[in-house]
Structure 1
């Protein structure tokens, strides 16, 4: 794709009818360029470092195609565009696999003398050769062809799984009286039909407030049952085959199982270390988790409900306890969280923290609700990248929250560009959703600030996959600070959220951390266990694996796994969220909680952790910032309620 001496953002189509040909043309061009660069690579003289630069161009071209197709498949409202994107994504992944299994490509790269390269180039070479070996370049003809078929099938199954989730929106019809306890704006948007019933969809802005505030236990159970039946039964069959394809693939290239194969390139190191890590965290949260569970069971008894804490009741019971014990009502908090103000507040906070400015851009996008900004360095006035915020639900859109790459930045060549894809309310936001917005924006910042490397392999969120959540989890801390919130959390009359309410929110949030951590361990056990030894009956195994660590129960007659998209994207590595949380709490210990915007520490964090991208190992990035290796002390203190910074403030 074109190299510009003056990097500028990608020009997107400005007419609906132009999107399909634009996606097709950009994908076709990228694939052709990847093939052309690979052909030139194998023509280089053996040992010539130019081969490594050709490999970089292959990665640039393929990365462009995969970024475009992944985003368009998730967000574009035209089914023809999403279908074209999915087809091109399979083609790009197939080409990537073929090139990584190409003997001539491997021979040219393997002949390069790493000792003659600078450290950055040597790291690129080391990782490139590792990726080729993991792709099966050493296999003979029949096994190589079998692996090629497995990779293609895995891509097709992953796409089918995510498409079924994306298009699998369900609706539960419940009595109008079950809206008792819901906010007024929610009730106003959920009017009963002639039969007196109200429709609650599986979209986040519908389901989560209902499960939190509805006083009707039976209705909550039905809504939760729908939420955990998305994708059933189709995705049960799809996932079952995907797990077996991955297992066969791992064994074909010489690994015992998929977790062993997957963990090799992560901080955790080995597949066996994953369940050991889960056990360690489970032991650390056993006493506190069971104490919190007992308290929620008592709340249920006091309300005359059955003392069962499951996915239909735990949000409501926790909300009730926090209201009674801490005087915190999330409906009271919601009135300060107008979606537009929160969005602008997020930009103000991160701009102040990292020395950035966000300039609104009137540019075409895939939907008129998308907000676009250029990211500018305050000190130099240099444009660093462009971001697109696609924050509200619509039919057929990716229905969780995630950051997507659109363009990976390269120094002096192209600006990084990415999108935040979420599903938040258009009016007043749930407090949890504000935290999620800060979290996901952390990924987007990482993508932009790490977008100035020469090598594609280092650009953006390119660190080990079990570290990528840590910078985003760190940014969540700013969503809990009274000074920060008072800058944008205003009620309809313009009054900021009271500081004492924020302190009560912090104290209330400290309750349930052990229980929530155990729930995350349950999801991680599913992720690892499904891949370690793919079961014949996924639903039966789901309950057993989840129950190893989680204390909250699954709702009977549900199939959580068929809508659990992380099983495709994260595979066996959902433990990442807890692993990263341990590191995030350690990173936060370096900040002054009395001055979260202290410029020296924020600038050092930007320089040592975010900007390097994948140019150094994650453990080295953390050590460079902290001045020591990372350790779990802050995380353990947080679980115990002592505050991540050791100050004694309520843990968050």
Structure 2
């Protein structure tokens, strides 16, 4: 592959605004031109028709990447707004294409008999997309579907913007910081009014709810965190759900969940509810046992406590791990400086997958911010991609952790480029943050390794959406291995993290996995129920679902749904995190815990699962790797440990 990476402007240059607009418009114009040719004078050979369509889809994907990425990460609000405009144009064109009866007729008339497996799959999936777009409906219905699609992208952008721009905070006196790590306190100076600001951004809220002794201060911050974007997003969510309900109904589906699940491993909406209940049942005994331990420890401080909620769970879980399981997170974090973790992650994944990560000088990478680190990715001496790591918080930036596409790799056409967007501390990291970094980086590895395909349809993380988390959940396992951590986890004195501490960390991590699973099922039920059952009061329904699925009570005055970003992106399918974990645990069973870098197993996993992208169904990829269909056995055994 000889293609070059995307040529970006330099940071803070004025032409970023023009570049985003021009890149989007140029790629959209190219897509329109190619499609016009297909519609008016299609090639005679089916394979050539699909190749022209592939080129159009590459262009549309490139425009979409500009819109989705830079609307979330660029430091200039004008650029973010321009990128949102590009995303709106992409959605409009994509909708128009899906409802184009003349274009559909071109594909419906193709003879697939002479196509190879990949090309035949492209055709089959393209025809499925047309049907799911509503191309076979009457004109009035198609017009309404078009309106709903355009409305959906605007609502999605509004929902995301409200979360991104609604950073909240509390102001506390310095004495209320008791328990916080010294480096965290040093990074939070006292203001002229004698108060310290603690925000709802992750580098503040995660350590504060974990270590701060002041229960009321924790409650104040957690309450602010769980009311981000309220009440604005309550209205936006109702509009999003209404659009999706009508969309699914017009296409003949009973609910949005049925429409959405049709193209996932799970198959239908009803199966989502059944899966949620199955995991709830499997995890209940463990959840109740560990919650009782938390409540008992809370009663040492508050003898009259009858329950424990989200303002206290993280803090008391940390105390239990420290006092009963001999793991002090403040000691643990001294081994994880950000720079060492980032390099360690590159070294680990390079060794595991046979990849080389070469730093690209900032002047050559031309990123959107000085803190973005860029690497070229090579495999067996050939450059196969480029990655950009945007890992620290700033105003106006995406508040969670995710991998974004900058370009989807296609053989001979363009290099795979991915962007990791997170919000980590610049100094010491919690081990949970290290695990999160490994997880998110797994998406980036998947994106690059699966970027060597002829068909953009199958490039990158292009599998069923309820499988995409499995490879990332797999990679988390390497962040818990003593030998792996010993390669980069060192304290300020240069001492390597002790193996017995890592073992204690593993055992301590097992504490709470049952109630964590129940919490995940609460989130999954929220995601599913909101898309199946209409409700006038989202917070009231949240409280009902929380009482049924979570073992922890509702925190009064909060509206967590308003900043639960997955209600937009994952819609009714948040169950996918746990569904993927079931598969991840099964795939990991193929590895020898005593040799996580076994080249034969790692190579088979790389080539049979990651590098395939969307060329085959996920269940077939897993079966090819394991030599059998996946089962619940490994997950159930892990949960019962």
Aligned to 2:196: 198
Tell me by how many angstroms 1:552 deviates: 2.0
Q: CA RMSD in A?
A: 1.1
Match of residue 113, structure 2, among 112, 115, 119 = 115
Does structure 1 retain, via aligned residues, the 8 Å contact 2:333–2:430?
yes
- 1:70-89 → structure 2 map (5 Å cutoff): 70-89=68-87
Matched, 1:24 2:29: no
Match of residue 155, structure 2, among 154, 157, 181 = 157
Aligned to 2:603: 603
Q: Distance in 1 between matches of 2:603 and 2:405?
A: 24
Q: Distance in 2 between matches of 1:370 and 1:102?
A: 41
Matched, 1:370 2:367: no
- 1:151-190 → structure 2 map (5 Å cutoff): 151-190=149-188
Q: What do the CA deviations read for 1:532-563 (whole angstroms, capped 9, x no partner)?
A: 11311111111112322111223110010110
Tell me by how many angstroms 1:40 deviates: 1.0
Q: What do the CA deviations read for 1:492-511 (whole angstroms, capped 9, x no partner)?
A: 11111111110110111111
Q: Secondary structure at the match of 1:326?
A: coil
Matched, 1:359 2:331: no
Q: What do the CA deviations read for 1:263-287 (whole angstroms, capped 9, x no partner)?
A: 0000000000001001011111111
Q: Distance in 2 between matches of 1:311 and 1:524?
A: 18
Q: What do the CA deviations read for 1:304-343 (whole angstroms, capped 9, x no partner)?
A: 2634322111100100000011110100001010000000
Matched, 1:219 2:221: no
Matched, 1:14 2:13: no
Q: Distance in 2 between matches of 1:168 and 1:420?
A: 22
- 1:412-561 → structure 2 map (5 Å cutoff): 412-561=412-561
Q: What do the CA deviations read for 1:559-587 (whole angstroms, capped 9, x no partner)?
A: 10110111110000000000000000000
Tell me by how many angstroms 1:49 deviates: 3.6
Does structure 2 retain, via aligned residues, the 8 Å contact 1:37–1:57?
yes
Q: Secondary structure at the match of 1:372?
A: strand
Q: Secondary structure at the match of 1:548?
A: helix
Tell me by how many angstroms 1:196 deviates: 4.1
Q: Distance in 1 between matches of 2:574 and 2:609?
A: 22
Does structure 1 retain, via aligned residues, the 8 Å contact 2:473–2:584?
yes
Q: Secondary structure at the match of 1:359?
A: strand
Q: What do the CA deviations read for 1:72-107 (whole angstroms, capped 9, x no partner)?
A: 011000111100000110111110010111011100
Runs of 5+ in structure 1 lacking a partner? 642-652
Q: Distance in 1 between matches of 2:132 and 2:605?
A: 33
Tell me by how many angstroms 1:195 deviates: 4.6
Aligned to 1:267: 265
Q: Secondary structure at the match of 1:169?
A: coil
Aligned to 2:56: 58
Q: Distance in 2 between matches of 1:53 and 1:383?
A: 24
Tell me by how many angstroms 1:489 deviates: 0.6
Aligned residue pairs total: 635
Q: What do the CA deviations read for 1:85-136 (whole angstroms, capped 9, x no partner)?
A: 0011011111001011101110000111122211111100010000011111
Q: What do the CA deviations read for 1:194-251 (whole angstroms, capped 9, x no partner)?
A: 5543211000000010000111111111100000110011111111101000110011
Does structure 2 retain, via aligned residues, the 8 Å contact 1:232–1:562?
yes
Aligned to 1:343: 342
Does structure 2 retain, via aligned residues, the 8 Å contact 1:46–1:112?
no
Does structure 2 retain, via aligned residues, the 8 Å contact 1:469–1:577?
yes
Tell me by how many angstroms 1:604 deviates: 0.3
Does structure 1 retain, via aligned residues, the 8 Å contact 2:46–2:112?
no
Tell me by how many angstroms 1:47 deviates: 6.9
Aligned to 1:253: 251
Q: Distance in 1 between matches of 2:17 and 2:390?
A: 20
Aligned to 1:644: none
Q: Distance in 2 between matches of 1:285 and 1:581?
A: 14
Runs of 5+ in structure 2 lacking a partner? none
Further displaced range: 53-62 or 429-438? 53-62
Q: Distance in 1 between matches of 2:526 and 2:79?
A: 33
Tell me by how many angstroms 1:190 deviates: 2.2
Aligned to 2:325: 326
Aligned to 2:33: 36
Q: Distance in 2 between matches of 1:271 and 1:54?
A: 35
Q: Secondary structure at the match of 1:373?
A: strand
Q: Secondary structure at the match of 2:554?
A: coil
Tell me by how many angstroms 1:175 deviates: 3.4
Tell me by how many angstroms 1:8 deviates: 1.3
Tell me by how many angstroms 1:177 deviates: 2.1
Tell me by how many angstroms 1:475 deviates: 0.0
- When the two structures are superposed, what TM-score results if normalisation uses the length of structure 1? 0.96
Tell me by how many angstroms 1:51 deviates: 2.0
Does structure 1 retain, via aligned residues, the 8 Å contact 2:47–2:119?
no
Q: Distance in 2 between matches of 1:307 and 1:326?
A: 24
Q: Distance in 1 between matches of 2:271 and 2:172?
A: 45
Q: Distance in 2 between matches of 1:297 and 1:60?
A: 54
Tell me by how many angstroms 1:45 deviates: 5.6
Does structure 2 retain, via aligned residues, the 8 Å contact 1:392–1:426?
yes
- 1:573-584 → structure 2 map (5 Å cutoff): 573-584=573-584
Q: Distance in 1 between matches of 2:306 and 2:589?
A: 38
Q: Secondary structure at the match of 1:272?
A: helix
Tell me by how many angstroms 1:176 deviates: 2.3
Aligned to 1:645: none
Q: Secondary structure at the match of 1:447?
A: helix
Does structure 2 retain, via aligned residues, the 8 Å contact 1:310–1:555?
yes
Further displaced range: 48-57 or 520-529? 48-57
Q: Distance in 1 between matches of 2:106 and 2:589?
A: 46
- 1:637-648 → structure 2 map (5 Å cutoff): 637-641=637-641
